[in-house]
Amino acid sequence: MSALLAATCLPTTFHNLFLSGAEIMSLSATLVTNYSASVPAIDRFTQPLVEVHNASFCNITVSYTHPGQNDALVVEAWLPTPGWNGRLQAVGGAGFVAGRSTPAWSAMSGAIADGYATVTTDAGLGTAADPTTWALLSPGNVNLYALQNLASVSLQDEAIIAKSLIKAYYGRPPAFSYWNGCSQGGRQGLMLAQRYPTAYDGIAAGAPALHWNNLFPSMQWPQQFMAMLGAYPHACELSAITADAISACDALDGLVDGVISDVDRCLRTFDPFTTVGRAFHCAQENGTLEISATAAAVINATWQGIRDAKGVQLWPGLNPGTDLTVGTVMTDCSSGTCGGVQLPISGQWLSLFVARDPGIDLSRLSHGEFDWLAHQGRQRYNSIIGTDDPDLSAFQRAGGKLVTFHGLIDQLVPSKGIEKYYNNVAGLLPDVHDFYRHFEVPGMGHCLVGGPSGGPLGLFDQLRAWVENGTAPEQTTVQVTDLQGNLQNRIVCPYPQTSGFEKSCAAETEARCWSCSGLLRAA
């Protein structure tokens, strides 16, 4: 059978490919043999690292256009020969990249190692992370077709094309189809559940970058706040206050290990202004500094979330314990005077898509001007890429299963955003836990990057068991590096349940010493 599959890895095998509303421009099929790769967990999110040894697969690359839209999209599928497990696993993108790039190819390598056929798309945007290459058709005119392709259209196209290629190659469609992604890939997964409910049977969506028109202003908020203050703290001050917060809130889960599990309680009980004046050693300055009122104010504003000029919170902030020296609150004091460091992705969204002016100086906006810019984004783009429709009833009726997860010290995307979304879904569908479960991971940064906690690397297999056997994930395991550098296994629970350490348990490194508390229902 494998020899026959290898022999049929030819463009003619796929000559019947059809996509409604599109025109196929080219299709290539190349047999790849003796393929090996090391795939880290950071590229798979819900699956462990894996080594690929001497794999063989048919690489099919499809280029197509939507006539009249002047676009050119590419879908790339890898179909194992031999060893196909009868299933499809699509992988998502990151930032402004829809997929088809080095991290996606790494994720696809992991998929074929596990026997999946796999697919990715570039949504017509290529592999560049910088949207300046495509955002504006001309000065002041946004390329809306390109944005729509990124937001949703390419996702349905990709699923249809992948299933058609699989059927042509193996003689049958996939028995089950899955989506796996984080950040942009997480947003894509939610868009699929919302708009294309039959595309995939199971969706794993990590740190979903949904609510774009609230998310990007919230990312920009710390820089806006510092600009309005006219003052910027040293990075070491931010680290010192963060360390104080961890010290004050660490034991709330019953175990001192450098991880804040109850971020809400920490927000209520720890005041960053109480640290003002404390002396500490600043490595960057190679000397002793005192924590400034500016640093406390910046951290407080970041934790409390974006506020309009009237003081009303527009979106939640990042959580205590988050490393603020990377991501949204970065500063640079190397010249002797501290200044802000613009996060590219939020600046690109606000300047290119909302202001439609790549030359706008975001550091000079008044509070009212900043509010208006955020408001314009919501007006123009919520229906295109907001990805916040809570009505998942069609996905539920189709039998789909959805798992989301989010690190509680995510440096970019506030974890409260997906929590808010889950609660909105639960408000419409009280039996939400029958098809959708969300996991909050204390101590984990954005898509497994940063923090003492690893990711939920068994969650994808749990999703597959839920789809295929009806076994819902009641908990999932993560590994945490404690303050002594030891690895501990523990569990995280479906929201709104929380996990806690059993003080009577002597084996601190074992997951059995943790249990879930609370009711599995809408919060």
Per residue in 236-282, pLDDT (tens digit) is 999 999 999 999 999 987 788 899 999 999 999 999 999 999 999 99
Question: What pLDDT is recorded for position 331?
Answer: 96
DSSP one-letter code for 284: T
**pTM beyond 0.75, yes or no:** yes
Q: Identify whether 461 is a catalytic site residue.
A: no
Give yes or no for residue 520 having a pLDDT over 90: no
Per residue in 349-402, pLDDT (tens digit) is 999 999 999 999 999 999 999 999 999 999 999 999 999 999 999 999 999 999
Q: Which domains does the chain carry?
A: 2-213+386-474 (3.40.50.1820), 214-370 (no CATH)
Question: What pLDDT is recorded for position 517?
Answer: 85
How far apart (Å, rounded) are the C-alpha atoms in residues 510 and 408?
Answer: 21
Question: What pLDDT is recorded for position 501?
Answer: 83
Question: Mean pLDDT, to the nearest integer, of 43-70?
Answer: 97
Question: 314 and 307 in contact (C-beta within 8 Å)?
Answer: yes
pLDDT band at 523 (very low <50, low <70, confident <90, very high): very low
**Pairing mode, if any, of strands 87-91 and 117-121?**
parallel
Closest CA to 202 of 448, 497, 401, 461: 401
Q: Identify whether 183 is a catalytic site residue.
A: yes
- Average confidence score pLDDT of the chain: 95
Question: Mean pLDDT, to the nearest integer, of 450-462?
Answer: 96
User: What is the per-residue DSSP string for 329-341?
Assistant: G-EE-TTSS-EE-
Per residue in 203-218, pLDDT (tens digit) is 999 999 999 999 999 9
Say how many Å lie between the first and final Cα of the chain, rounded. 52
CA 101 to chain centre: 16
Give yes or no for residue 1 having a pLDDT over 70: no
Question: Mean pLDDT, to the nearest integer, of 141-155?
Answer: 98
Question: 198 and 397 in contact (C-beta within 8 Å)?
Answer: no
Question: What pLDDT is recorded for position 158?
Answer: 98
Give the per-residue SS3 of 422-467.
HHHHHHHCCCHHHCEEEEEECCCCECCECCCECCCCCHHHHHHHHH
Maximum CA extent, the chain: 74
Question: 143 and 69 in contact (C-beta within 8 Å)?
Answer: no
- Determine what percent of the chain is predicted with pLDDT higher than 70: 98
For 83, residues 6+ apart whose C-beta sits below 8 A from its C-beta are 2, 115
- Determine what percent of the chain is predicted with pLDDT higher than 90: 88
Give yes or no for residue 522 having a pLDDT over 50: no
Per residue in 470-480, pLDDT (tens digit) is 999 999 999 99
Q: Identify whether 410 is a catalytic site residue.
A: yes
Question: What are the helix and strand counts (H, E) for the chain?
Answer: 14, 19
Question: Mean pLDDT, to the nearest integer, of 444-464?
Answer: 96
Question: Mean pLDDT, to the nearest integer, of 191-202?
Answer: 98
Q: Please identify which of the residues 157, 257, 371, 410 carries the catalytic annotation.
A: 410
Q: Please identify which of the residues 109, 177, 183, 239 carries the catalytic annotation.
A: 183
Q: Is the bond preceding residue 139 a cis peptide, omega within 30 degrees? A: no
Q: Please identify which of the residues 323, 446, 453, 499 carries the catalytic annotation.
A: 446
How far apart (Å, rounded) are the C-alpha atoms in residues 63 and 74?
Answer: 5
Give yes or no for residue 493 having a pLDDT over 80: yes
Structure tokens at 122: 């570039």
Question: What pLDDT is recorded for position 403?
Answer: 98
pLDDT band at 196 (very low <50, low <70, confident <90, very high): very high
Per residue in 71-99, pLDDT (tens digit) is 999 999 999 999 999 999 999 999 999 99
